[in-house]
Amino acid sequence: MILVIWAFLFLFDFTSALHNHKVTFKFTSHQEKPD
């Protein structure tokens, strides 16, 4: 049951991030950053 809520929250957060375009940039930047 909790997994379903987690997935829903994740999807909602992902959609919000796409609309925000701020978290998306963070995700892309955090993917692989050579030190």
Q: State residue 28's pLDDT score.
A: 60
pLDDT of residue 5: 85
| Residue for token pair 């963070």 | 26
Q: Which residue has the higher pLDDT, 3 or 27?
A: 3
Residue 1 has pLDDT above 70, yes or no: yes
Please, what sign has the CA dihedral across residues 19, 20, 21, 24? negative
pLDDT of 16 = 76
pLDDT tens, position by position, 5-25? 888 888 888 777 666 666 556
Which amino acid would we find at residue 12?
Answer: F
